Chain A
């Protein structure tokens, strides 16, 4: 038995070595994910981007990924391991990987890093994110049109600027249709806990919300909406198969082009540290099919998305009032990029406190 195991182990070792020998001249691109690629949400879309690299640049690059990496010391260890294994480009795909990425990047100056949704950069660390809030504004308008109770429930993950920005954009969109629209917020304090996301959705529905939207990574909340007969929106990927009658539309992230471009840049030697913040205009964010709604609501949503795309409409165009009544942006102005990036305040009308 022991001999057999040793033999098996050596076969496995030899084959592993031979694979890496063949692949040595390819650029190795590493990814670390906060959840599993099978979440059909945030991580799923990043994994689609990874597969796009394989499909389009497979002759020159190969990808590896590590899933379910907790934010914190584990992340630093995992990123270090990818760098040691010879990855030339590493995508770290969650906000909480920011400091671990910076720490590892300092130790591996020749490796390029790309950190999603963060704000710290150096010569070998780029950041990239998407203006998801543009999509949130569109679904806010749809929500206000479709809601009977005038109350929507919003399941947040962590109170970080990216999520708060989405909440504010949603409500600002809704208020253009119904100035008295109410928004209840429940924080799951987790990116991925299907059970808790479902609990939060049930709680919000029992408190009168007839629209559920979420900034967490699983499809649990839209399924509860389907079961209880209220409307919901997909987040990160098209969640229509999970809630064919409840889903109105989805905000879909599309990282494919960005990932392929950045990998190509490393291959060409033209990679430099940048900050990318793509929206509906660049295709990094796009809206899923508009379903389960009357034609006029659909037309309104399409018009809003189109106006955002060409830059005629900014979700945070003034006047924008903070929760305490102070003015965040006056008529004719928009909330400045600094406040957007570090957003730690709610707009007027949110039924929650930060």
Chain B
């Protein structure tokens, strides 16, 4: 459950000036694995996520989710967007139960779990608030909770903490670690932040810029459960150094 497989996937955006966003990407993510896609902006890592979510179609190659080809978006793959993408006219609670509600589940079936999730992300007091009344970090917590409310087999996270300040980002990373360590859902996590990639994932896939391809895959073998205190450990620094050399940070082309 929750296995992802890309086989020689390419994506070209047609137009007056064709854009080759992805080139020959092959990647397998096992059940319950946490994989980070790391790369500079414009490297096609979000495109990869959009293909998997079913928002866009591949140009070449095959892409499977639990062995089946992906044709359209669906609640088996929960997407967390960078700017949360909550419905601004719905309260936190209504946003949280949007998916079970539109899928026709009975209130009794989703309410207890939704209450639990609201508590998990620490927003019980804000159930009736509108998204506009929340901070960026709180909005993203709703964005994560509403996805967990659908019991997805995989979480696809597109730079979910990219717009947050450094301190809030650390809190959110810790929250995600805690949640993931108890759920064990497959996660594909897009980021441009090396620290974040190393801290959270089992494997970091480094992508090159346009056309995007995976140039290096580095397994992160730090023990679980992890917490943000790992960020200053020597083994963390070693991984960071390895990734920086892989990304050729500092080199000017």
A and B part of one assembly? no
